[in-house]
């Protein structure tokens, strides 16, 4: 799975299938804690589960793992010159995963929390901001079961409250939110705003208002 990121998996010793995950408060956590993950697919799954459990972003997960492996084991780097080529600071780095997959991950993280919901007036105010935002992107694919799953989970998350602006809202490309549901959820339960979010984003303005 990591070959598309420039990792030469054929020469990777199995003892090195591991990753050091940065922690929110500083430091790192080795994944798996002891030994190795067995193969790259299993390592990716273990890191994904760990990030979900600590509410860390799933963006660029495979890219992060590949970069770590290529740094620790240069012989596995198919493109050595690319490792020291950081992204332009003003460029929005697109997630490697399709938006629908990011939404499904977000819904899975949010649903066990039984989030607090806002009154409809606040949700409509947020919806008006999102409906005009360039990060409000279409997420539906040709996979109808996947689309139906997102819609059903989204309605369950907002306790089946109908939303008059739902047709104008799709999904936030930056945050990975399913917007018809996210606009109803208490700001404190949605995590940090994305660094590239527009200045008028309600994630930013509500955070500033509470300071």
CA–CA distance, 24 with 16 (Å, rounded to integer): 24
The pLDDT of residue 170 is 93
The pLDDT confidence band at residue 92, using thresholds 50, 70 and 90, is: very low
Q: CA angle at residue 159 from 157 to 160, to 5 degrees?
A: 105
The maximal CA–CA distance of the chain, rounded, in angstroms, is 58
pLDDT at position 90, please? 41
* pTM recorded for the entire structure: 0.53
The confidence score (pLDDT) of residue 2 equals 78
Evaluate if residue 96 carries a pLDDT over 70.
no
Share of the chain above pLDDT 70, in %: 84
In tens, the pLDDT along 173-190 reads: 889 999 998 998 888 888
pLDDT the model gives residue 164 = 61
Examine the pLDDT at 28 and tell me if it is beyond 50: yes
Q: What is the mean pLDDT of residues 73-88?
A: 61
**Strand-pair category, 171-172 with 19-22:** unpaired
Q: Where are the domains of the chain?
A: 2-82, 99-210
Burial of 206 (0-12, 13-18, 19+ CB in 10 A): middle
């Amino acid at each position: 799975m990591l070959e598309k990121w420039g990792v030469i998996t054929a020469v990777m010793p199995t003892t090195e299938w591991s990753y050091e995950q940065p922690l929110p408060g500083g430091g790192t956590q080795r994944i798996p804690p002891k030994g190795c993950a067995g193969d790259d697919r299993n390592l990716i799954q273990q890191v994904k589960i760990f990030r979900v459990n600590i509410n860390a972003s799933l963006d660029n997960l495979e890219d992060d793992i590949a970069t770590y492996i290529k740094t620790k084991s240069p012989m596995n780097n198919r493109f050595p010159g690319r490792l020291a080529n950081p992204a332009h600071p003003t460029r929005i780095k697109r997630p490697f995963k399709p938006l629908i997959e990011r939404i499904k991950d977000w819904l899975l993280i949010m649903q066990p929390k039984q989030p607090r919901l806002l009154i409809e007036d606040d949700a409509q105010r947020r919806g008006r901001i999102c409906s005009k935002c360039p990060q409000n992107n279409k997420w539906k694919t040709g996979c109808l079961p996947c689309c139906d799953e997102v819609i059903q989970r989204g309605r369950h998350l907002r306790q089946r409250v109908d939303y008059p602006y739902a047709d104008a809202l799709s999904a936030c490309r930056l945050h990975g939110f399913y917007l018809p549901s996210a606009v109803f959820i208490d700001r404190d339960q949605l995590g940090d705003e994305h660094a590239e979010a527009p200045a008028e984003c309600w994630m930013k303005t509500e955070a500033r208002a509470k300071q």
